[in-house]
Amino acid sequence: MRRPGERPGLRLWWALCLALALPTLLLNITLRTWLPQGSVPLDMAVTGWPPLAQALVMRPDAGLAQPPWAWWTTAWLHGSTPHLLRNLAGLALMAALGTLVRPSRQAALAGWLAWPLTQLGMLMQPSLGSYVGLSGVLHAGVTVLALHAVMRPSRRPMPRLALPAVSPLAPSVAGLRLGGLALLAALAAKILMENPWAQALVASTSSAINVAPWAHLSGCAAGALVTGLLWVLAAGSRLARRCH
């Protein structure tokens, strides 16, 4: 049986994916007025970028002295066309995974909150003059979905005469939990292999830029932190209602 809030949660998750994808594409098109590929030159100081990109980028070396919108907008900027395409492909996978997992409103809200929190974690890399891209937020989103799948409560048994509310092809709760655990294990292994503690930037031939592995760790940590906090608040609220 479909749980209350499941369908609105999925819509909220799709809205998050669109809020990440559409401005990214529009910004890339707009920046082509100044830059041939619409991507920012990461090998150049931010002061040499087009004014629009300067206004939107988040700069870890500036600490908390950021424009308030930069915690969100920096995710829409990209350093190369392969960087953009890889992140959009990852975003499509995150949307598809959300459709399979069907996050609750609480999980979808965690995804929205993890977006700026991921960039906040980049302040722990003050050697970086800029940070752009969706990869950190994508890691946060996958972490949120994996934790939601693992913590998903069992469905209540349906009355005998009730018609099933979900497709018989939908994954079982046990299957979702196993899948969530596998995703968490894969994320942990990926972070350990990238070793974000060793260096701030790593050359990526597939993205044609130097990537910041700390962003992936920051995204996973942000997703886990917000998911855990909202879960504790929801559990406390349910307990308070029972006591009254």
User: Percent of the chain at pLDDT above 70?
Assistant: 89
Between CA 9 and CA 63 the distance in angstroms is 34
The reported pTM is: 0.90
Q: What is the pLDDT of residues 34-53, one digit of tens each?
A: 999 999 999 999 999 999 99
| Comparison of pLDDT for 174 and 121, the residue scoring more | 121
Tell me how far apart the alpha carbons of residues 111 and 126 are, in angstroms, rounded to a whole number.
Answer: 25
Output the pLDDT for position 154.
61
Average of pLDDT values for 11-28? 98
Q: What is the pLDDT of residue 40?
A: 97
The CA distance from 41 to 44, in Å, is 6
Mean pLDDT, rounded, of the chain = 90
List Cβ neighbours of 118 (8 Å cut-off, separation of 6 or more).
136, 137, 139, 140, 215, 218, 219, 222, 223
Q: What is the mean pLDDT of residues 172-199?
A: 93
**pLDDT tens string 100-140:** 999 999 999 999 999 999 999 999 999 999 999 999 999 99
Would you state the pLDDT for residue 6? 63
- Mean pLDDT check: name the lowest of 108-112, 220-224, 240-244: 240-244
Q: What is the largest CA-CA distance in the chain?
A: 68
Q: Average pLDDT, stretch 161-172?
A: 50
Residues 218, 99, 11, CA angle at the centre, nearest 5°? Answer: 85
Give dist(CA 115, CA 134) in Å, integer: 9
Q: How far is CA 237 from the centre of its chain?
A: 26
The number of angstroms, rounded, from the C-alpha of 25 to the middle of its chain's C-alpha atoms is: 17
Q: Is residue 161's pLDDT more than 90?
A: no
Average confidence (pLDDT) over 214-223:
98
Q: Measured on CA atoms in the order 102, 92, 60, 193, is the torsion positive or negative?
A: positive
More confident residue, 51 or 158: 51
Would you state the structure tokens that stand for residue 119, as one six-digit string? Answer: 């960039």
pLDDT value for 156: 46
Half-sphere exposure of 158 (CA within 13 A, CB side): 10
Query: Bridge-partner residues for 210, per DSSP?
Result: 203
